[in-house]
Structure 1
């Protein structure tokens, strides 16, 4: 999968661009997997670096950005594929004054070939014109950012097991930098057969609730002035608490939030729904 991902990135690479593969102490070293790219390595179009910032996706991405030479960095997971026109589009957005953004994705199943699509004629949308929910971009959704801005907001928090992309989006929004969403296809995202392949989906609800609480605490001063953002994060926190099927923890969380009547109703209604359905605490 890594071989195909790198091939797609190199095929889309703009002039003077580079593809950086971060080896996060893999069982099989990336250099052994990427046989056949010797010319790209010699020309500097491809670099393989060993992660020295601690294990995990966040640390690996931070290390990759620290190694980057260009002004803009664009993230690609090691089993996804890059749309050939997307990096060029990102550079166009940077030239228009945007500092970060993300775009549409298309999912495909393991063992299948994604259906090629041409970039559509739809135009970009400033994040400021979207609802808060749509201003939060996943790092696997063609997420790009100016390198200087990435460093200025502190990079990706390696202490967050999940929600690290939400945390980064919050810090970018707080910075006042101009963000953009593109409805144009950016990334082909591989859908794995096993839900465990998706870290967020396989993380127990009690831990997901914990991380939403951390976000509410870390960004509390800013959220006071951002009603829509605060309401969204509070509801996500409460929903994760309901999925634990632990009524005591749910009530404790609602009291910590100083929740109003509507949020209490939302939480208790969801709790009853999951209790009736027998919802397990891993979703």
Structure 2
């Protein structure tokens, strides 16, 4: 039987994790679905351990960031395909199935999809559509693939071949993984496979400052001496 593994990093996410796990429990995937939570904080750990959909809980003692947490979860996963989402994200019931179907094509090594806001409001919807969907469609078309952390998957063999997420990167670790995966095969974008995620960071930092931070991050990533994989931007 086909097995897919979902890894959810959850650092002090007691207020949000339940919704994420509930959405994973509604998946229409025909194979076996394994859910692994890498958590920190007593309340978050308790929710993960008590939820029926969770197969394994790892304690994130190091708190080295989402990339390291995802790597820890992937290291114990048994699935042929590894899916990643965040503890402040709700996935649709078709999420695993839509990701999985892309891997029927042997050349596909990774899949990404758009993000939608959990919050109401036209401004959130428009900005997410521009920055977390249309930007991906444009960048993907020129080879700058960027699987977003809350909505991505990888073929396990390819993930292991590129050594997973680069834990030395505090920022853009999902983009870095995507670009390294591209050298191993095709990274697909599925515009019809969105997930809904929190806008708390956008509200806290503001859309424009956050956009500028990403632009600076892309530039720093590409500068000589700043990233071991900067050649992907040339």
**Shift of residue 55 of structure 1?**
2.1
Q: Which has the higher strand share?
A: 2
- Residue in 2 aligned with 1:178? 186
Structure 1: distance between partners of 2:140 and 2:17? 36
**Structure with bigger RCO (C-alpha 8 Å, 6+ apart):** 2
- What pairs with 1:58-207 in structure 2 (closer than 5 Å)? 58-97=67-106, 98-109=108-119, 130-133=141-144, 135-140=145-150, 142-175=151-184, 177-192=185-200, 194-196=203-205, 201=210
Tell whether the 8 Å contact from 1:136 to 1:170 is kept in structure 2 after alignment: yes
Taking a change above 3 Å as real, the CA distance of residues 47 and 214 of structure 1, as seen in their structure-2 partners, is farther
**Shift of residue 173 of structure 1?**
1.6
Aligned with 1:31 (options 40, 45, 53): 45
Tell whether the 8 Å contact from 1:82 to 1:188 is kept in structure 2 after alignment: yes
**Shift of residue 58 of structure 1?**
0.9
Structure 1: distance between partners of 2:87 and 2:224? 28
Tell whether the 8 Å contact from 2:67 to 2:165 is kept in structure 1 after alignment: yes
- Residue in 2 aligned with 1:16? 32
Tell whether the 8 Å contact from 1:10 to 1:19 is kept in structure 2 after alignment: no
**Shift of residue 13 of structure 1?**
6.0
Alignment: residue pair count? 200
Tell whether the 8 Å contact from 1:137 to 1:165 is kept in structure 2 after alignment: yes
Taking a change above 3 Å as real, the CA distance of residues 215 and 146 of structure 1, as seen in their structure-2 partners, is farther
Structure 1: distance between partners of 2:140 and 2:49? 45
Taking a change above 3 Å as real, the CA distance of residues 163 and 129 of structure 1, as seen in their structure-2 partners, is closer
**Shift of residue 82 of structure 1?**
0.7
Tell whether the 8 Å contact from 2:220 to 2:226 is kept in structure 1 after alignment: no
Q: Identify which range, 1-10 or 50-59, moves more after superposition.
A: 50-59
Tell whether the 8 Å contact from 2:140 to 2:146 is kept in structure 1 after alignment: no
Tell whether the 8 Å contact from 1:31 to 1:48 is kept in structure 2 after alignment: yes
Structure 2: distance between partners of 1:178 and 1:218? 21
**Shift of residue 68 of structure 1?**
0.7
Gaps of 5+ in 1: 116-125, 224-228, 231-283
Gaps of 5+ in 2: 1-15, 126-136
Report the RMSD for the aligned CA atoms in angstroms. 3.5
Tell whether the 8 Å contact from 2:221 to 2:227 is kept in structure 1 after alignment: no
Q: Which has the higher helix share?
A: 1
- TM-score normalized by the length of structure 2: 0.71
Spell out, residue by residue over 1:9-60, the C-alpha distance to the aligned partner (whole angstroms, 9 max, x if none).
121163311111111xx232433224752x445xxxx321123666211110
Name the larger-Rg structure.
1
Structure 2: distance between partners of 1:215 and 1:8? 42
